[in-house]
Amino acid sequence: MAYCPTTELSLEARDRVVDISLTGYFLMARECGKNMIKNRYGRIINTASMFGRISSFHNPILAYNATKGAIPNFTQSLAQEWAEYNITVNAIGPGESPSEMMVFDDAALEQLKERCPIGRPGRIEELCGQLLLFASESSSYTTGQTIYIDGGWTCV
């Protein structure tokens, strides 16, 4: 990820983030969509981020925030286009959770406790319920939605 002030962000670094966080979604949807349209059925679940809806307070990550902010609109547009084929397109918007890309030191955990309404980082397994719902027939009438699983960050 390109962690740097925008004035120092190179076009190459920005392009790399866009290629991963936006172009990759387009390519995957385009190729999977061909088979889904043919079969008149499908479920696409995109991954946005709470940082597509709110800005990151501790790291300048403009390119990431911008691409993740595009995912809800991408999701809505694709949902509208492919609804007639019984394809639903939804997204989850995770909050901060430990991962290979996100490691919390004591200072970061303290900031998170102060700013996140739930007061802790998320756990990867807390995404599973919404993923399973979007993948199931129980959400066959739900399309074009982004659900933020963020401990309340986007509600304040």
Contact 19, 25 (CB under 8 A): no
Per-residue pLDDT reduced to its tens digit, 74-90: 999 999 999 999 999 99
pLDDT in tens, 108-154: 788 888 888 999 889 999 999 999 999 999 999 999 999 999 999 99
First vs last C-alpha separation in the chain: 26
Tell me the pLDDT of the chain averaged across its residues: 91
**Residues catalogued as catalytic:** 64
Q: What is the pTM of this model?
A: 0.90
Structural domains of the chain ordered from first start: 6-150 (3.40.50.720)
- Say how far apart CA 17 and CA 65 lie, in whole Å: 10
